[in-house]
Amino acid sequence: MGKDSRGNWVVQDDQGVCGGLFVDRKHALRFAMLENGSRPQAVVMVPGIFELDIGRGASAHENANVPSQRKVA
């Protein structure tokens, strides 16, 4: 979970299968929690720019160190 270059909040799982764009953090976090079974420890905030990648099935992020465990990110 993070912000894209336009200021939208982005949520995307580590496989790039599920995600979305949100206008505020509250709704982005709610979506992430619904998708991951209400596990706050599984939500990773990505520093820098985080763009939603719907084209290849893998998350596209810049300047991020994302752990390899399953999460909605």
Render pLDDT for 14-68 as a digit per residue (tens, 0 to 9): 888 899 999 999 999 999 999 999 999 999 999 999 999 877 554 444 434 444 3
pLDDT, residue 17, reads: 87
pLDDT, residue 14, reads: 85
Chain position carrying tokens 């994302």: 66
pLDDT, residue 54, reads: 76
Chain position carrying tokens 């992430």: 32
3-state helix, strand, coil in the chain (%, to 5): 20, 25, 55
pLDDT, residue 56, reads: 57
What are phi and psi for residue 40, nearest 5 degrees?
-60, -30
State the amino acid at position 71 in one-letter form: K
